[in-house]
């Protein structure tokens, strides 16, 4: 199973956006090129393994797609531009006359840059003096402080987990995988026998995710 995407096109506001066939076809065409020229050796090997069962000129077909989805991405208007139709695909930072600094837009892949640029703007706008250089590039995310690639082996040896479950927990939670494993009492129940996800992960989501509204997590049996 391979996840491929994405495209970015203007769209009417709708409650149920659906992917266009032209977008799906475009992604399929690009996917062949990317898989063929990938710098990741494992990706190239897997692609060649699949291609060995096909004729040399066989493309990835529309019928090979098992699912496709789309969504609406809200963009922000830059208040400093006269053209009200101008939309910022990244983030914008505005300093009001009162000194209020606002950052809007952005995306997950640039959040460190957003943080750095916002703090730099605060320093400049308020004529502050920075006591040290920016540290965001070197900060670990939650679970990354004591992570090591062999963590899943420790989970197997100390807690008796199946290999696929241990790899999943280590990859998903980093050093927090130990806490998840402890909660699972070493033999957490799988949500489905074919997948490494445990029921205890639903419980930890409720414990670790700070929710400001009432959320309920459901585990439906397959």
pLDDT confidence of residue 138: 87
- Asked if residues 56 and 100 have their Cβ atoms less than 8 Å apart, the reply is no
86 lies in a domain? no
48 domain-assigned: yes
What per-residue confidence (pLDDT) applies to 217? 43
Residue 143 in any domain: the answer is: no
- Report how far residue 4's alpha carbon sits from residue 69's, in angstroms, rounded to the nearest whole number: 11
Residues 109 and 172 in one domain: no
Q: How confident is the model at residue 107 (pLDDT cuts 50, 70, 90)?
A: confident
Residue 205 domain flag: yes
Q: Are residues 68 and 113 in the same domain?
A: no
Q: Do 100 and 68 sit in the same domain of this protein?
A: no
Domain that holds residue 130: 91-138
Pick from 39-53, 65-79, 165-179, 206-220: least confident: 206-220
The number of domains in the chain is: 3
Helix (H, G, I), strand (E, B) or coil at 184: coil
Residues 10 and 53 in one domain: yes
Among 101, 118, 138, the domain boundary falls at: 138
Mark whether 211 and 154 lie in a shared domain: yes
Q: Are 33 and 59 within 8 A, CB to CB?
A: no
168 & 116 share domain = no
In a shared domain, residues 190 and 164: yes
Q: Which of 79, 82, 83 is nearest to 95 (CA)?
A: 79
Strand segments, DSSP code E, in the chain are 76-77, 87-88, 91-95, 101-105
For residue 82, being part of any structural domain is answered with: no
> Do 54 and 115 fall into the same domain?
no
19 found inside a domain: yes
Report yes or no on 78 lying in a domain. no
pTM: 0.59
Round the average pLDDT of the chain to a whole number and report it. Answer: 80
Specify whether 68 is located in the same domain as 97: no
Residue 42 and residue 3 share a domain? yes
Indicate whether 22 belongs to any domain. Answer: yes
pLDDT at 174 exceeding the cut of 70: yes
Are 169 and 103 within one domain? no
DSSP conformation class of 138:
G
The residue out of 117, 138, 159 marking a domain boundary is 138
Once rounded to an integer, what is the mean pLDDT over residues 130-140? Answer: 89
Same domain for 68 and 20, yes or no, is: yes
């Amino acid at each position: 199973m391979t996840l491929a995407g994405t495209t970015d096109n203007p769209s009417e506001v709708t409650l149920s956006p659906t992917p266009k066939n032209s977008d799906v076809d475009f992604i399929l065409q690009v996917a062949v090129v990317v898989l063929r020229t990938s710098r990741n050796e494992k990706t190239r090997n897997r692609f060649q393994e699949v291609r060995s069962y096909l004729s040399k000129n066989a493309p990835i077909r529309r019928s090979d797609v098992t699912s496709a989805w789309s969504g609406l991405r809200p963009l922000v208007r830059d208040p400093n531009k006269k053209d009200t139709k101008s939309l910022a695909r990244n983030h914008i930072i505005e300093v009001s006359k009162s000194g209020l600094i606002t950052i809007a837009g952005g995306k997950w892949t640039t959040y460190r840059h957003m943080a750095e640029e916002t703090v730099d703007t605060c320093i400049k706008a308020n004529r502050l003096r920075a006591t040290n250089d920016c540290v965001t590039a070197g900060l670990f995310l939650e679970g990354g402080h004591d992570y090591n690639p062999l963590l899943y082996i420790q989970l197997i040896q100390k807690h008796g987990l199946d290999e696929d479950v241990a790899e999943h927990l280590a990859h998903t939670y980093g050093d927090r995988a130990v806490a998840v494993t402890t909660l699972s009492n070493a033999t957490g129940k799988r949500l489905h026998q074919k997948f490494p996800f445990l029921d205890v992960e639903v419980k930890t989501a409720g414990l670790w995710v700070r929710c400001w509204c009432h959320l309920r997590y459901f585990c439906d049996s397959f």
